Structure 1
Amino acid sequence: MLNGFNHLTLAVTDLSRSLDFYSRLLNFRPAATWDAGAYLTLGELWLCLSLGKGSDAQDSSTYTHYAFSIQQSDFHAFKQRLKNSGVTEWQPNRSEGDSFYFLDPDGHPLEAHVGSLSSRLAECRAKPYKGMQFFD
């Protein structure tokens, strides 16, 4: 049912520093930035930088997760199968497209996501996050 890697979200403690590191030193291309985050690309990779809630590494790492792509037609059956198997959901979906946020047996945070960076940016253009800027 999962059909590929979708995106990587990294919680960061200093957005400006991280944006500079990934764009200037690693050659990621900014797609959009806002007060609490940024979307960048490197080839087909979609990277989200998300400002952490706290100042220590333990607190800021809570939103780091790996997302996998899934078709809309498979999403609800996949989510139900995982829930029926006792998989732990670690947060509700609050963004564009259906997502199921769940933990693997070792507690690694994962996400099954319907959508792409293109669909996310289209939604953000309609309803931008605070301070959002787009790079075309």
Structure 2
Amino acid sequence: MIQLEFLDHVALRVSDIHRSADWYASVLGMQVVQPDEWKPFPIFLLAGSSGIALFPARTETPQPLPQGDWIKGDHYAFRVQLPMLETAKQHFNKLGISYQEQDHTYFRSIYFKDPDGHQLELTAATRPLPDAA
């Protein structure tokens, strides 16, 4: 049986990798990493054990991401402590970033989008999940 440790990173295609790297650093406080061996891309962003690899979209006219229940990456969630949700909402309000809140019974979340429309989530546990079946 394969034993996974954690999801290491997701790779996103974006219209402007430098703009996106700046956005993820300033909005989510992620650390920007780009060793010389990787230039000109990807640009890697780190937060704890999680990462995002940014790659340029390979089109002159990027199309918006499809909405709805299509086969696609739906959203990318980052775990935070519950008090951090309030901090994030204040930060987003200052930056003019719109978000939606949702109570998932065991988690509270806020959803928002990056400059290319990728759906992101900050989620915090409010109580333990029931034991797995």
What interval of TM-score do these two structures reach, taking the shorter chain for normalisation? Answer: 0.3 to 0.5
Q: Which has the higher helix share?
A: 1
Normalised by the length of structure 2, the TM-score is: 0.42
Q: Which has the higher strand share?
A: 1
Larger RCO, structure (CA 8 Å, separation 6 or more): 1
Normalised by the length of structure 1, the TM-score is: 0.41
User: Rg bigger for which structure?
Assistant: 2
